[in-house]
Each structure stands twice: as structure tokens, then as C-alpha cells.
């Protein structure tokens, strides 16, 4: 029989090893099935011109500015939806996911 204190020590060490591993496994992004190639076409057609006007001609700065709004996959999809409704393009949800997948792969990298 192990002394109680040693048992606790072993338990604590086990927890320390397993908890961070579990925490690192984040849920799949809400746009995990988005197709970045389709998203690229849509974003270039519908989004770049206005962002360029906002950012003194350099549209990419919108996604890369230090105080950017998007820092999680959920925020990314929400912001795509927001700009989409402002814009009145009436994308289908899967099109919003394509765009989010494209912006994630190219700029945000907030999801695998
Ligand atoms: C009519 C102008 C306009 C159009 C068109 C537009 N946007 Fe935006 N977008 C903005 C503005 C303005 C902001 C900055 C909002 C802020 O900082 O509060 C923004 C911000 C964003 C951001 C967040 C950037 C950050 O800070 O991380 C994303 C993502 C985005 N837009 C996606 C899109 C997508 C996708 C489209 C095309 C479907 C689009 N936008 C079309 C005006 C526009």
C-alpha cells in the first residue's frame, strides 16, 4: 500500500499531464467544412473594395491590424455574417463558411 502522500503526488502528476492535453483539443471551427477556394472568389468579388476604402487602399490591413476584432473562429464567422448582412449579398450559410475558411487560412489562423 502506497503512503497517502505519495499517492496524491502521483495523482497530481497524472492530472498535470492529462489536463493540458485535453484543453488543447478545441472543438472544430464552425466553418470546418468551408471551402477556402470558393471563399476566395466570393471575398475578392464582394469584400475587398470596401475594405480597401476603409484602410487607405490596403484591404488586407483590415484583417491584420493590431486591434482587429476577430480572434476566435466564432468571431470570424460572426463578423463575416455581419458584413454580409450589411452588404445585403444574401449569402447562404455555406457561402459564409467558405469565406470564413478562406480568411482563416490566409489571415487569421484562429482554427486548424
Ligand atoms: C460596405 C463596406 C464593407 C463591405 C462591402 C465589407 N466590409 Fe467587412 N468590414 C467593414 C468595416 C467598416 C469593418 C471594420 C469594422 C470595425 O472595425 O468596427 C469591417 C471588418 C471586417 C472584418 C473584421 C476585421 C477585423 O478587425 O478582424 C471581417 C472579417 C470582415 N469585415 C469581413 C468581410 C467580408 C467577408 C465581406 C464580404 C462578404 C466584407 N467584410 C464586406 C466594411 C465592409
Dist. CA 71–CA 109, nearest whole Å: 9
* pLDDT tens digits, 30-44: 999 999 999 999 999
Per-residue model confidence (pLDDT) at position 21: 53
Q: pLDDT class for 87, splitting at 50, 70, 90?
A: confident
What is the Cα Rg of the chain in Å? 21
- Does 84 sit in the ligand 1 pocket, CB within 6 Å? yes
* pLDDT tens digits, 64-76: 999 999 999 999 9
Of the given ranges (11-25, 66-80, 96-110), which has the lowest mean pLDDT?
11-25
Dist. CA 23–CA 26, nearest whole Å: 7
Per-residue model confidence (pLDDT) at position 93: 94
Q: Which residue's C-alpha cell is 488543447? A: 24
- CA angle 82/93/25 to nearest 5° reads 90
Per-residue model confidence (pLDDT) at position 27: 79
- Does 41 sit in the ligand 1 pocket, CB within 6 Å? no
- Does 46 sit in the ligand 1 pocket, CB within 6 Å? yes
- Which residue, among 12, 26, 29, has the nearest Cα to 75 in the 3D structure? 29
Ligand 1 mean position to 31 CA, how many Å? 18
Amino acid at each position: 500500500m502506497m503512503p497517502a502522500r505519495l499517492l496524491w503526488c502521483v495523482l497530481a502528476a497524472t492530472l498535470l499531464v492529462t489536463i493540458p492535453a485535453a484543453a488543447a483539443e478545441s472543438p472544430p471551427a464552425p466553418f470546418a467544412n468551408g471551402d477556402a477556394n470558393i471563399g476566395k472568389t466570393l471575398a475578392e468579388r464582394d469584400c475587398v473594395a470596401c475594405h480597401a476604402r476603409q484602410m487607405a487602399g490596403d484591404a488586407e490591413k483590415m484583417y491584420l491590424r493590431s486591434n482587429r476584432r476577430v480572434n476566435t473562429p466564432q468571431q470570424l464567422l460572426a463578423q463575416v455574417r455581419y458584413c454580409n448582412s450589411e452588404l445585403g449579398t444574401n449569402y447562404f450559410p455555406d457561402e459564409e463558411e467558405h469565406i470564413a475558411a478562406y480568411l482563416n487560412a490566409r489571415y487569421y489562423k484562429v482554427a486548424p
